[in-house]
Amino acid sequence: MIDAARFLPVTRKEMESLGWDTCDIILITGDAYVDHPSFGAALIGRYLESMGYRVGVIPQPDISSSEDFLRLGIPELFVGITAGAMDSMVNHYTSLNRIRSNDAYSEGGKPGKRPDRALLKYVNLAQRTMPGVPVVIGGIEASLRRLSHYDYWSDRVRKSILLDTKANILVYGMGERATAEIADALSSGRDIPGIRGTAVYTSIKALDGIDYGKHIELPSHEEVSGNPDAFMEMTKLLENEISPYSGSTVIQRADTRAIIVYPPQYPLSTEEMDRVYELPYAREPHPIYTDEIPAFRMIQNSISVVRGCAGGCSFCALGLHQGKLISSRSPASVTREVETLKSKPYFSGTVSDLGGPTANLYSLGCTGGKALEKCRRYSCLYPAICEHFRTDHKPYIELLNAVAEISGVRNVFVASGIRHDVALRDTDFIYKLVNDNVPGYLKIAPEHFAPQVLKLMRKPSPDLWREFKELFDRISREAGREQYIEPYILVAFPGCDLNHMYVTADELRRQSMRPEKSQVFLPTPMTMATAMYHTGINPETGLQIYVARKPSHKRRQIEVLPGHSGEKRRK
């Protein structure tokens, strides 16, 4: 085993100070290097380091020459490449296709530190500068582009990014286990295909000679490129295979090649979650940076306690990336991390968030046992909460209390948002939350109020929202607290027309609410909502739906919302 470095090396000088001639693995990332578990390169790097590998990081390399890619030399095992915490195109362009003016994952928030389609460009340069070195791609950009997908920015269906990059293997989802298995196979001289949570490609001729066991074949790239019905069929089939317990190997042909996507990795156990999040992170940006990194500032006082989301909203990438199954950390692990956080100069006594993708799903999940092995539901919560899904919030309440009792902690907030439909199953949690853990505003995402649109989104009934808000307001009054719900509204969703937006605007006015955050729908690869946007097909009925495609039509929908500068009322 090697000793953990304060930071994974980013320069040859740092390597030499550790006594290394070479790295076993080099990670290239489109983000600035922040040694914190909320940043993927740091998490994967520390995990590999804990297994005894020498890991270096090249953050936001200069693509204008090959020199930056060779700053750490040639790795012994492989180079791992990620575009960063966001798809590079989502990072650069708004839903109205305008260039974003900042990048939260870069020093000083300055844009332009990573290229468009970062994976393609990074892999191309890595292959040119490190010929013969295996290339492993991962992160959200790889995960959501692992098969044929609609690309909003080019307005066409693109092939798997694995075929475009010609990388050796793609890791999808939360990649600790898969990446470690790849490293173990390569260090032992073994082949790497067959690993859960990965995708590889081969020639169509070679398909017949491989035993995949249980598998399904998707419509080919050529079929989904030219036929909206085939594209929708592909998306439905994919959603049917997202569970590691019931999912199959997925195969898709494209020209003379075929992509093979093995079933997802199983969710981490509590013990594995504890190990991953308690690795020796510096919890700071690397000293090469002199200006702040906005994404770190936002999460520096937060603690991740849960992973995965059971919601299955049709527009959300979480189900296709992290998965719908919940992994939670132990209270002992969380309190140990808070003790570490207390030693940081930026900590002032407030834990800004004790959460994850959906905070109040902590400790919840499926109790189905054998039923889980047969389950094909994409969502555990829609159209109604599954009978096998736990809704007792007692463990989360106890965790919030345990952290609040730590000496030096003055406030513990829940800032990462909750599922109000699940919270309504346990009103003790709502009382606890409203009395102790709301930082002035509570983030809730009703997304919409028109029932037809909510159905396409796979979001709960507006009646549940009204019930939650009424309870929230009453408890706040009783506690003498002035605090509010901050609703998130999604505009120009597939199937949403101007009349549907008027329904939402009228509901917000009745509740005297002005949404601080409203977002025009941005079609991200592989989600069902993006399939609806591309095809104009309702996946439940097969009928055509209205899709707002023109920027002017999208802006009209924004303008009807209360508080918008161009607010328009129904005549």
**What does the pLDDT look like over 72-92, one tens digit per residue?**
999 999 999 999 999 999 999
* CA gap 154, 363 in Å, rounded: 41
CB atoms within 10 A of CB 541: 8
How confident is residue 373, by pLDDT bands cut at 50, 70 and 90? Answer: confident
The H or E element containing residue 149 is strand 149-151
Amino acid occupying residue 403: V
Q: What is the average per-residue pLDDT within 519-540?
A: 97
- DSSP state at residue 504: H
Q: What percent of the chain has pLDDT over 90?
A: 88
- Which pLDDT score, from 0 to 100, does residue 318 have? 85
Average confidence score pLDDT of the chain: 94
Q: Name the pTM for this structure.
A: 0.95
Which residues lie below 8 Å from residue 52, measured CB to CB, with a gap of 6+?
1, 2
User: Mean of the pLDDT values across residues 20-46?
Assistant: 97
Q: What is the pLDDT of residue 4?
A: 66
Tokens of 303: 């603690």
Q: Provide the pLDDT for residue 553.
A: 96
Instruction: Output the six-digit token pair for 265.
Output: 């990795």
486 close to 418: Cβ distance less than 8 angstroms: no
Give the domain ranges of the chain. Answer: 12-198, 270-491
pLDDT classification of 406: cutoffs 50, 70, 90: very high
- In the chain, the amino acid numbered 468 is F
Q: 44 versus 446: which is more confidently predicted?
A: 44
Nearest to 24 by CA among 89, 73, 69: 73
Q: Residue 204 CA to chain centroid, in angstroms?
A: 32
Res. 565: pLDDT tops 60: no
Is 332's pLDDT higher than 80?
A: yes
What residues are paired with 307 via a beta bridge? 327
pLDDT bin (cut points 50, 70, 90) of residue 95 is very high
CA distances from 158 to 231, 432, 452 (A): 12, 48, 30
pLDDT at 518 over 90: no
Task: Average the pLDDT over each of 1-10, 173-182, 248-257, 435-444 and give the range with the smallest value.
Answer: 1-10
Q: Provide the 10 A C-beta neighbour count for residue 376.
A: 11
Residue 571 clears pLDDT 50, i.e. is over it: no
Residue 566 in this model has a pLDDT that exceeds 60: no
Average pLDDT estimate for 531-542: 97
48 band by pLDDT with thresholds 50, 70 and 90: very high
Higher-confidence position of 544 and 570:
544
Q: Which CATH number describes the domain made up of 12-198?
A: 3.40.50.280
Res. 417 pLDDT band, cuts 50 70 90: confident
Q: Binning pLDDT at 50, 70 and 90, where does residue 570 land?
A: low
- In whole angstroms, give the CA distance from residue 287 to residue 39: 16
* DSSP-based three-state secondary structure for 318: helix
